[in-house]
Every structure is written in structure tokens, then in C-alpha cells.
Chains A and B, each alone.
Chain A
């Protein structure tokens, strides 16, 4: 079993004055070649910060304080800024929820694609242009040769996301990090983009996709394995079929149970009471215990580690302690 991307004990802190928020706390997972791994959780759970930490694209107030991120055995956290610049867009690429903020509004689509191809693949200008047309075609943009000279604002949201995907796959990256790639899109457009991502995953067999999302339906449709985050930590991970059929962590169980499309019609949904905790003041012991229905006397005092429940499936919950 090869490991394409191996994240171990990754810890990222945000500081503002005396306040330290450990937004990502000893997060470990692996992504295999050709795999789509879902990183799911609610807002503020640290899933996006995990993605940005892997890319080393953090704001100045944030710092990676521990752990390692190995891409094919290479620790990205020890790379120089210049080396990272080469790796980003080359070996790892990222797409975002809002494509407009990640595209340059004053350059045409063609110029942005050509720039990436010349920088990372050392192509001549005419070759890069031809490749750009091929890429736009691949992501399903109609009349690609003509659209090359359009500006991002001339595209719709769905088309912009396609463009961003074209830029991201331009250098056939080993790892693609997709942060809420369909959240801002309408449902029929979302279906188109999900289909495109699935095609890319089967055609570029070796690319591993880390899909960051809050949407369990998107995970169910696209992922092979799932990692569930809560309050900066991984609480459960496993095969997608098992997570949906037999979730082990009470948080995963509750989240899946509260989806209206899985619940009965009109009955009360089993909601999770309370709120996601503040990253600067996590509860003691298990961070989910104040909201957990199964909590018992040890939960507020003992911090659970990830316990294997079946091969390849683990849950950080004292219920599974032996």
C-alpha cells in the first residue's frame, strides 16, 4: 500500500495576543494514489486550515507548530519558500469554493493557463496555448479556443470552477486539494462539477484528491475514504461505505442522523444540541462530550485517542476502549 501524501501529527495554531487557538491538533491521515479522501466537518473544525497547512498557504497569524507532511516521502514542512513555490501548482494543486477570488481578474483565462504551463512545464508560448485549449476542452468548456481570450468575469460560477480545475490539473499534480469545490454552485451545476471530478479521478489514475467539504452527500458520491474532523481533531476515519452504514463515533452518527434527506418526513430530526466549541477554549477530555448523548463519567476527564474498531476504520471515542 503506497502512501502518496502522509500527514502525521500536523498541528497549526493561530495567535492573536495572548489567545492561542489550536485549529488543527495532531491530525494524521494518508492519501493513496488515485484515491479520493473526504475531509468532512462543520465550519470551524479545522478542515480548511488542514488543507492550507499542507499547501503552506497560511495567513501570518497562523503557524504550523508540529508534525510532518510527506509528499512521496518528502517532508514539505522543511522545504524553503522557493521550493514550495515549485511544488505548489506542480506536484500539489488546490481549488477553492469561490473561484473568483483565486483567479486573476485582469488576465484572460488563456494568459493564466499559459503562465502556469510555462512556469511548471517549461513550454514554449505556442505549445502552452495549444495545451491550454486542450485543458479547457478536458474540463468541458465549450468552444475552448475562443474562450481562451475571455476574462474570468465573463464566465458563470460553474465555468469559473471548471477553469480553476483546468489550471489545477495543468501540471498533472500528484495531489489535488479541493476545498468545498461545489458549495457555491447550484445543484444542477454541482452535479456537472462532481461528474467532472470523478472523470478526472478515473482518467488521471495516479492523482490523489483530498476533498474538503461539509456536505456528506458530496462525500458519499465521490470519496473512497472519509476522515471526520471535530474541534481540530480527527474523530473518525474509514472506508466511505462503512462510515455511512455503520458510523462509530457519536458525532458522526449524530451528523448523519440529522440530515433531513436521511430522516423521516416531518418527524423531529435528531439534532445535536449546543454549539461547535471555540478553538481557543476546547472542552476538557473528549471535546465532543458536552454535546454527546452517550457521554459518561470518564469523557470530561480522559482525552480519547483513535481506536481501531475494524481494519481501516477507527474512532476517537472512549466507548471503544478496551
Chain B
């Protein structure tokens, strides 16, 4: 096995939450990401899944140092970049790029598409001006846009075309790793498949590694090699994709999978949906963060945070049910 491209160890991000003056003194803390470890290998797609507020986007942004982590370390090709200088970060960001959910918000509305694609090449001084122009057009063609799109402004393009520009901009510097944060959620159904196909194709062509952040488990199953499931700032289960979908071990993963409505009227599941809602990340529950909603919660779950237990090849889950000392019976699948 080759060395991982990216290793994240014990990463934690706490945001200060100002408490309004009328609610008393002091400050709250939002536990967005708490003690998360993750590795990504060259050419691999790792999906981060979870519901809104689980910390998956914050984790993605911490890796790029778009937000500064509170604790933990980020290693890129064996180099600790947690405290890398601005200059060093600039170098690193050639290799690690990001694609955002909303291309409206991430593309400069006052620049032409050609300008947007040339900008990273200009900043890093790649080639001559003519070479950069040519490269911008090449990128457009790569992502399936006509060369004359270079003269268009973002508002003149459709949502799917704008997302293609976002992808082209991320590819401009030939990165090794792309962090894609819900890249297709804002797109129309018929366009989602186009963009997914493009991402798979580019990955094969360039041997890119992806961190794919998504709430859509159908898409994740289609696209990723491995999946990490997050709940309230923590990874609760991590496994190869096929294994996770056929043999989920954490009760939250089981509930999440059972809750996906199937696009097939013959499979009208009547699973008992997970009751209750995700608690506030300002006051995560003591012990296992999932215990208030967990149908299998045991006394120990209210007292201690579960460590990871091995659950198969490259498969681990943070649940006391996997500990022979606590669980008399194996967990019952929710569906």
C-alpha cells in the first residue's frame, strides 16, 4: 500500500458562539469537528457523509486551512501543514483544490470565464500569457464547455455550466486532491448525472484523489471508494463503500441508510424512522453523542465516548455494541 496522500489526526474545530447579552455572561462553543482522524490515498475517493450540521463541510475547509483548526494535525505527503506559513500554503493549494456547492457564490461575477480560469495560472506564473490563454480554453473543452464560453460571464451560464467552470478552475493547476463540497446538490436532476459523469471521468484521466462531501447517499454509493459517516462533529463509522452499504455496524449509519427513500414503488419501506433530531453542537450529549436517539443505547453509552472498534477489513465503528464486554447480542439491523 502506498503512503497516504493526506492524513488528518485528531482534528478539532471549535467555533466561539457569542451568547447574546440578555442570555447572561460567557461564551458558548460550537463543537463543529471533534477529534476526527482520516486518511486519503492517491487516486482514491473518500466520501464524508452526514446530515446538516454534522461538521463535514467544516472538516473539508480545515484540511485546506480555509478555517484554522483548533487542535490536531494535518499531514500532506508526510509534511505537517497544520501550521504551515502563508507562503507554504500557497504552494500547497496548487495540489489541493476545492469545488463548492454554489458556483454562483464561488465564481467572481465581474470576471469572464476565461479570466476566472486564467487567474490561478497567472497567480502561479504558469507559462507565457498565450500559453495560459490556450490552457484556459483547453480546460473548458475538458469539462465539456465550448471554447467560446471563455468570453461569457458567469451569470450568462446555466447552473450546470457554472459548476463545470468551477470544476475547470479547480483543475487548472493539476491538483492531486480535490475537496468537493456538495458539488451537485444545487443542480437539476438531469444535469446532476452529467456532472457526476464528468467527475468520475476526470478522476480516471488524472488519477485525482477526491474528498466528496455529501448528504446524498445514493450519489456517494455511486462515486466513492470509502465512506466516513459523521454525526455531531465526529466520525462514527468508516468503511469501504460496498461494505458500509451492505453491512453498516453503527446504529446511526443503519438509521441513515434505512431513511433513504428508494426510487422504487415496490420497495415501500416502512422503517421506523429515527426519532428526535440532531442535538445542538453547542451542547453535544455526554457519552456517545448518538445515545439519546439510539434504539440500542446501553448505560455505558451515557457515560463514556465509544472508541473505534474494528468491524471488518478497513471497517471501523465507534459503538459499544461492538465491544464484547458490553454487548450480549450483536446489533440488530434497522431495516
Chain A interface (Cβ within 8 Å of chain B)?
Answer: 42-43, 156, 158-159, 186-192, 194-195, 214-221, 223, 240-241, 244, 254-256, 258-263, 265-266, 268-273, 275-276, 291
Structural contact, B222 and A261, CB atoms closer than 8 A: yes
A35–chain B nearest beta-carbon distance, Å = 14
Q: In the complex, which residues of chain A have a beta carbon less than 8 angstroms from the beta carbon of B222?
A: 260-261, 263, 265-266, 269
Q: In the complex, which residues of chain B have a beta carbon less than 8 angstroms from the beta carbon of A271?
A: 190-191, 193-194, 196-197
Structural contact, A275 and B160, CB atoms closer than 8 A: yes
Structural contact, A268 and B194, CB atoms closer than 8 A: no
A44–chain B nearest beta-carbon distance, Å = 8
Structural contact, B192 and A258, CB atoms closer than 8 A: yes
Given contacts A186-B215, A187-B259, A218-B261, contact A260 B188 (CB under 8 A): no
Q: In the complex, which residues of chain A have a beta carbon less than 8 angstroms from the beta carbon of B218?
A: 217, 259-261
Structural contact, A188 and B255, CB atoms closer than 8 A: yes
A263 to B189, CA, bound (A): 14
Structural contact, B51 and A187, CB atoms closer than 8 A: yes
Structural contact, B190 and A265, CB atoms closer than 8 A: no
Structural contact, A270 and B193, CB atoms closer than 8 A: yes
Structural contact, A191 and B191, CB atoms closer than 8 A: no
For residues 292 through 331 of chain B, which have their beta carbon under 8 Å from a beta carbon of chain A? none
Q: In the complex, which residues of chain A have a beta carbon less than 8 angstroms from the beta carbon of B270?
A: 195
Structural contact, A262 and B263, CB atoms closer than 8 A: yes
Q: In the complex, which residues of chain A have a beta carbon less than 8 angstroms from the beta carbon of B86?
A: none
**Number of B residues whose C-beta is below 8 Å from A?**
45
Structural contact, A240 and B265, CB atoms closer than 8 A: yes
Q: In the complex, which residues of chain B have a beta carbon less than 8 angstroms from the beta carbon of A215?
A: 261
| Identity of the chain A residue whose Cβ is nearest the Cβ of B191 in the assembled complex | A275
Q: In the complex, which residues of chain B have a beta carbon less than 8 angstroms from the beta carbon of A221?
A: 261-262, 265, 268-269
Interface hit among B75-83, B87-95, B112-120, B271-279: B271-279
A273 to B196, CA, bound (A): 13
A190 to B194, CA, bound (A): 26
Q: In the complex, which residues of chain A have a beta carbon less than 8 angstroms from the beta carbon of B189?
A: 42, 214, 255, 258-259
Pull 7 A–B residue pairs with CB atoms less than 8 Å apart, ordered by A. Answer: A191-B274, A192-B275, A221-B262, A260-B221, A261-B221, A261-B263, A276-B190
A307 to B219, CA, bound (A): 34
Q: In the complex, which residues of chain A have a beta carbon less than 8 angstroms from the beta carbon of B197?
A: 268-269, 271
User: Which residue of A244, A266, A273 is within 8 Å of B223 (Cβ)?
Assistant: A266
Structural contact, B51 and A217, CB atoms closer than 8 A: no
Q: In the complex, which residues of chain B have a beta carbon less than 8 angstroms from the beta carbon of A42?
A: 188-190
B238–chain A nearest beta-carbon distance, Å = 19
| Identity of the chain B residue whose Cβ is nearest the Cβ of A195 in the assembled complex | B273
Structural contact, B190 and A254, CB atoms closer than 8 A: yes
Structural contact, A244 and B263, CB atoms closer than 8 A: yes
Q: Is B52 an interface residue (CB 8 A)?
A: yes
Q: Is B110 an interface residue (CB 8 A)?
A: no
Q: Is B217 an interface residue (CB 8 A)?
A: yes
A133 to B278, CA, bound (A): 25
A266 to B258, CA, bound (A): 22
Q: In the complex, which residues of chain B have a beta carbon less than 8 angstroms from the beta carbon of A158?
A: 277
A249–chain B nearest beta-carbon distance, Å = 13
Q: Is B106 an interface residue (CB 8 A)?
A: no
B137–chain A nearest beta-carbon distance, Å = 21
Q: Is B27 an interface residue (CB 8 A)?
A: no
Q: In the complex, which residues of chain A have a beta carbon less than 8 angstroms from the beta carbon of B52?
A: 186
Given contacts A260-B193, A273-B194, contact A188 B200 (CB under 8 A): no
Those 3 A-B pairs whose CB atoms lie nearest each other, nearest first: A261-B218, A258-B193, A271-B193
For residues 198 through 239 of chain B, which have their beta carbon under 8 Å from a beta carbon of chain A? 200-201, 215, 217-219, 221-223
Structural contact, A188 and B256, CB atoms closer than 8 A: yes
A259 to B200, CA, bound (A): 15
Structural contact, B271 and A276, CB atoms closer than 8 A: no
Structural contact, B273 and A192, CB atoms closer than 8 A: yes
A258 to B263, CA, bound (A): 12
Structural contact, A217 and B194, CB atoms closer than 8 A: no
| Identity of the chain B residue whose Cβ is nearest the Cβ of A259 in the assembled complex | B263
Q: Is B158 an interface residue (CB 8 A)?
A: yes
User: Which residue of B242, B259, B263 is within 8 Å of A256 (Cβ)?
Assistant: B263
Q: In the complex, which residues of chain B have a beta carbon less than 8 angstroms from the beta carbon of A214?
A: 188-189
A172 to B255, CA, bound (A): 33
User: Which residue of A43, A186, A192, A220 is within 8 Å of B262 (Cβ)?
Assistant: A220
A260 to B223, CA, bound (A): 9
User: Which residue of B196, B217, B266 is within 8 Å of A187 (Cβ)?
Assistant: B217
Q: In the complex, which residues of chain A have a beta carbon less than 8 angstroms from the beta carbon of B262?
A: 217, 220-221, 261
| Identity of the chain B residue whose Cβ is nearest the Cβ of A224 in the assembled complex | B265
Given contacts A195-B273, A262-B264, A263-B222, 20 further A-B contacts (CB under 8 A): A186-B52, A187-B51, A187-B256, A188-B256, A188-B259, A190-B259, A191-B261, A192-B275, A218-B261, A220-B267, A259-B218, A260-B196, A260-B221, A261-B263, A265-B221, A266-B222, A270-B193, A271-B191, A271-B194, A272-B194
A241 to B51, CA, bound (A): 30
Q: In the complex, which residues of chain B have a beta carbon less than 8 angstroms from the beta carbon of A192?
A: 273-275
Q: Is B260 an interface residue (CB 8 A)?
A: yes
Structural contact, A217 and B261, CB atoms closer than 8 A: yes
A93 to B334, CA, bound (A): 35
Q: In the complex, which residues of chain A have a beta carbon less than 8 angstroms from the beta carbon of B265?
A: 220-221, 223, 240-241, 244
User: Which residue of A189, A191, A240, A262 is within 8 Å of B271 (Cβ)?
Assistant: A191
Determine which residue in B191, B256, B269 has the highest number of CB atoms from chain A within 10 A of its CB, and name it.
Answer: B191
Given contacts A42-B189, A271-B190, A276-B188, contact A188 B263 (CB under 8 A): no
Structural contact, B51 and A220, CB atoms closer than 8 A: no
User: Which residue of B193, B241, B261 is within 8 Å of A272 (Cβ)?
Assistant: B193
A36–chain B nearest beta-carbon distance, Å = 11
| Identity of the chain A residue whose Cβ is nearest the Cβ of B257 in the assembled complex | A187
Q: In the complex, which residues of chain A have a beta carbon less than 8 angstroms from the beta carbon of B264?
A: 220, 244, 262
For residues 273 through 292 of chain B, which have their beta carbon under 8 Å from a beta carbon of chain A? 273-275, 277-278
